[in-house]
Structure formats: structure tokens, C-alpha cells
Amino acid sequence: MALISVILLLLAALHHSDGALHFASYYGDHMVLQKAPHRAVLWGYGPEGEQVTVYLLGPFLQKVSSAPVTEGIWQVTLDPVHAGGPYDVYAVSESSMCHLADVLFGDIWLCGGQSNMYFNTSQIFNASEELALASKYPHVRPFMAALKASKTELIDLIQVEIPWSVPTTSVVAEFSAVCWLFGRYMYEKLKYPIGLVESCWGGTPVEAWSSPRALKRCGLLHNEDNSMLNKTILWNAMIHPFLNMTIYGAIWYQGEANAEFNRDKYNCSFPAMINDWRMAFHRGSGGQTAPDFPFGFVQLSTNRNVSTDDGFPDIRWHQTADVGYVPNSRMENTFMAVALDLPDKASPYGTIHPRDKQDVALRLTLGARAVAYGEKDVSFQGPFPKQILPLKTSINITYDQAVSVKASKNMFEVCCPEKNVSCESKSIWCPAAILAWNQTSIQLFSASCPPSKVAALRYAWADWPCEFKACPVYDASGNLPAPPFITNRYAGNQNIWRST
């Protein structure tokens, strides 16, 4: 009888509705709300002073305590709801009602960055095959914010580009390939709904996605113009509106624009943005989004196969806060997909936009499984050195895991400084060939610099260090490439990994 009474109440409200009550722009039919143990937040607009009550109708009925409309806005927090659905969501006030149909509960991932995250599924390798699979994943739901900027922080989106949708070929074709593939691969593992929120813009620096708080932490000045070099305009319009929403985590593909803009600050600005997002989403959702929610990112792929330094090696290093791998003490609960071995010489969209996004998403998925979901025995990191020893005629590198190795004459380089010339000079770096290797270590030899004179060592320190999946060092499976590293002078048996 209680259920019948509620249905009659909703029908009566619908009959008398004048349309004044409505949800915020990024709620809609077919959406995904964050599942238990987190609590989803719903908010919208309504007549001042009225009370709004939210009902869920689906596998069971849930009523949420009423919330008042204050300054034209209402907000309620649902009790935890387990993964599944579909539900109908009703918000009811004294004078009107609004409704969301076919709502699922699962995990929501925010996908941000610049053009390689914006890169559409229709543009990738084997696009037709990928798009043909879209309808087979009805519980992976995409949403896309429109490209809009603002000089002030907004509470809601200016415009929605793709509303929450049950995936079809046409919808997924225009959606972020990395975001879609990541969601699809995660669904295959988790077997419950995944909500994907795309909010990215090509050619944008990290500063545009950062709040004034984050910029201040890194000594970056606020730019008042309305160009993409303004350091807050996309935070204001395309991130800040989402803060009330409960999310599970975020993935990020950006950094190319910072190869030429505030490059030396990226080791501060990127971690600062992550930490600030975490704080802001936690507060905005009333504590429902975790204060340390998982954050995955793609370490930059390639741009130009030339000898000139375009900043990509530095940005890759700075993406890890100059540690070389994540998670680390400065970037906790993060995971990284190394992509420097995925160049695409023939990309019709420019070599800065490689079409192999499947491997990128798969590597992100491995990191999410291990870091975000705590799955044990998931290999998600490429090999990283744990010890470097100078021998009489060679240098020995011992890795933190088993390695598969290919011969290389120039992927490793040593710095042999001359008098009054530091390792900052490009001219004093010379190649060190792989002399021999075993299951966990590599021996290097440089004809130009004996081990006793080596001041620093680096690996894959180039924009385009190797051809497709042909770097010399991978994990034992041959699937996860070793990330680039740079280290200053080592001493004896100590593990002394430090940036130069």
C-alpha cells in the first residue's frame, strides 16, 4: 500500500507540475550515479522556499529526507545504493516535479585533459570494430561537457555536448576514445555500471584546469585575459560545476601544451592540481567523494622524431613529480600509463595524436585495478631501477622486477661533463650501449665515458625514443615499457635516485 500511495503522490505532482523544479544540467535520463559505499548527491533548481523530496523507484523504493530550496537551489544526498538498476528518480516539491529515467548506480570516472583525451573513438585504429561493440555495453554510460570557458567559477555547466546516453555507434564515435575504452575495459572486469564524464579541451595547459589555490601553491600568477593561457578559465567552467557530484576517480591525458608553457613548473603544478581537485570534490560533495580519490594519467606519448629537445622528456619526468614512477610520496593513490613506445608516424591527425588508444586505455585499466580497486597480483608498472653500480668498465642497473630486454646502442645515455660544463648542456650526453643483460639487470658500456667519470645517467630521454613497441626494456611479459628516468651521480651500493 505504501508503494501505491507514493506512486499516486508522484502522479498527482506530475499532473500539477509547472516545470519550475529541475535538475542541474549534468543529471539526466540514462545517467550513472555513484554506488555504495559512497552516497550520490542530487541537486537542482526550484521555487524559493519550497521543500524538495527525492524518491527512487526501481528494485526497491527509497525516500530521501526533504531539502529546502535556498536561493533557488536544492540539494539532497541519497542513502548508499548498491550497484545496479534501473531506477526512476523523482524530485517532488509542493508545486512541481522532475524525473530522471533509466538511472543506474555504479562508479563514475571523470576524464580530463587536452587533445589526446578529446581524441574521438572514430579516429583510432580499428575504429569500425570498436564502434560495432558499443551497443554490447549498455551499462557503460557516456556524458560530455561542451567546450566552454568562464572568467568566474560556475556552479553549473554552460552547455552539455553529449547528454547521458546508452552507448550507440554514433554516440561513442564522438566520445573520447581513451575514456570510452577505459570504461569498457573496467566494466569487463567489474561487471557493474560505469559512468564516464568527459571534460577536456585540446591544446590546453594544466593551468587552465587549476584553481587559483593550486596555482598559488606553485607561485604561478593568475592571468586575467580570456585566452587558453588564463590559468583558471576551464577550471571555472568545466570542472568547478561538477564538484557537487560524487565521483569515484579521474583519468587524465595532458601535458603537451606545457612542453612550451611553464615547463619547469609542471613538477609542482600537476601534483598541485590533483591534490586541489581531491580537496574540492570532497568538500563539494559533502564528503562523499573520497578526499584521496584515485587519479590515473597517461605519461606523454610522442610528437616529433627529431633530435631537437621539445620538452617532452622533461614533462614526462615532471608528470611523476620528478620521481620517475607512481604512486610515490608526492603523488599518492595515482597510477600511470607509459605511452612513449606508441608513436604513429602515419597518423592523419598529426604525429602528436597517435591512433593506438587501446594500449593506452589497457595500461590505465591495469593501474586502476591495482591502485583504485586494490586488486592483488596485477602487474601495472614497467621496470624501474632500484640500484646502479659502477663497475670497472661498465655500469650495472638492477631493476625492481624481471625484465625483457632488446639490444640498444643509444636509449641509455651518460653525462661526461667537461671543465665548467654541467650536465644541463646537451652536448655532453653520450650513448651507452647495452652490453649484456640477465633476468633482472642490464650492463651498459660507453666508449666515450668510463664509469669513473660518469656524472649522470638517463634512459629514453627523447621525444621519440623508440619505434612502435620497440623500446629496449619491458616487464617480463613484454607488455609494459620501462618509464624514462634521469639520475645524478650515484655512490657505491646506495640507491640514490634523485632528479638532476
Tens digits of residue pLDDT in 320-331: 999 999 999 999
User: pLDDT at position 417, please?
Assistant: 83
- Residue 38: CB atoms within 10 Å: 23
User: pLDDT at position 112, please?
Assistant: 98
pLDDT band at 303 (very low <50, low <70, confident <90, very high): very high
- Whole-number percent of the chain with pLDDT over 70: 90
Least confident interval from 15-24, 272-281, 424-433: 15-24
- Residue 65: CB atoms within 10 Å: 10
Phi, psi (deg, nearest 5) at residue 239: -120, -50
The pairing of strands 194-200 and 140-145 is parallel
Question: What fold is seen in the domain 105-372?
Answer: Rossmann fold (3.40.50)
3-state secondary structure 122-159: HHCCCHHHHHHCHHHCCCEEEEEECCCCCCCCCCCCCC
User: pLDDT at position 233, please?
Assistant: 95
Residue positions counted in the chain: 500
Give Cα 492 distance to the centre of its chain. 38
Residue 431, strand partner residues: 413
pLDDT band at 489 (very low <50, low <70, confident <90, very high): low
Helices 358-367/177-190 angle, 10° precision = 50
Over range 15-28, report the average pLDDT: 79
CA dist 468 and 149 (Å) reads 37
User: pLDDT at position 4, please?
Assistant: 42
Mean pLDDT, the chain, rounded, equals 91
Over range 359-366, report the average pLDDT: 98
pLDDT(228) > 70: no
Asked if residues 104 and 85 have their Cβ atoms less than 8 Å apart, the reply is yes
CA dist 496 and 456 (Å) reads 11
CA dist 233 and 238 (Å) reads 8
Least confident interval from 78-87, 109-118, 217-226: 217-226
pLDDT(334) > 80: yes
Residue 75, strand partner residues: 43
pLDDT(491) > 50: no
User: pLDDT at position 195, please?
Assistant: 98
List every span in the chain annotated with CATH 2.60.40: 2-101
Over range 404-418, report the average pLDDT: 92
pLDDT(139) > 50: yes
CA dist 140 and 134 (Å) reads 9
pLDDT(65) > 80: no
pLDDT(494) > 60: no
pLDDT band at 73 (very low <50, low <70, confident <90, very high): very high
Q: Span 2-101: which CATH code? A: 2.60.40
User: pLDDT at position 496, please?
Assistant: 42
Cα–Cα distance list, 164 to 71, 132, 300, 455 (Å): 27, 19, 29, 55
CA dist 194 and 102 (Å) reads 14
Q: Which three cell numbers stand for residue 207?
A: 593551468
- Whole-number percent of the chain with pLDDT over 90: 83
CA dist 302 and 317 (Å) reads 14
User: pLDDT at position 428, please?
Assistant: 83
pLDDT(57) > 70: yes
User: pLDDT at position 499, please?
Assistant: 38
Whole-structure pTM value: 0.93
User: pLDDT at position 424, please?
Assistant: 75
Question: Would the CA dihedral through 252, 257, 262, 263 be positive or negative?
Answer: positive
Q: What is the pLDDT of residues 429-471, one digit of tens each?
A: 999 999 999 999 999 999 889 998 898 999 999 999 999 999 9
User: pLDDT at position 16, please?
Assistant: 44
Output 479 or 390, whichever has higher pLDDT: 479
pLDDT(418) > 90: no
pLDDT(292) > 70: yes
pLDDT band at 315 (very low <50, low <70, confident <90, very high): very high
pLDDT(492) > 50: no
Over range 376-380, report the average pLDDT: 95
User: pLDDT at position 64, please?
Assistant: 74
pLDDT(5) > 50: no
pLDDT band at 305 (very low <50, low <70, confident <90, very high): confident
Output 59 or 68, whichever has higher pLDDT: 68
Q: Where do we find the cell 612513449?
A: 340
User: pLDDT at position 423, please?
Assistant: 81
User: pLDDT at position 419, please?
Assistant: 65
- Residue 93: CB atoms within 10 Å: 23
